[in-house]
Amino acid sequence: MQAAIKTRYGISPKLKEGYGGIFEVSIDGTTVYTNTTTYRFPTDEEIFEQIDARRS
């Protein structure tokens, strides 16, 4: 996913290590995806939609 974001938007996402299998995506400090409710890893498109919504 990190490479897909860099390719599409030209930005380098930062990894913040967590614990217990929790995976979250935050944009400007706001959590836009967490697997604590979906129990799965997000698709690139799901994250792209969140990035696009924040950039508009």
What digits encode the pLDDT tens for the residues 21-55? Answer: 888 888 888 888 889 988 999 999 999 999 999 88
Q: Is the pTM of this model over 0.75?
A: yes
- How crowded is residue 42: how many other Cβ atoms within 10 Å of its Cβ? 19
- Amino acid 23: pLDDT: 86
Alpha helix positions (H), 1-56? 2-9, 35-38, 44-55
> What is the C-alpha to C-alpha distance for residues 9 and 12, in angstroms, rounded to an integer?
9
Instruction: Calculate Rg over the CA atoms of the chain.
Output: 11
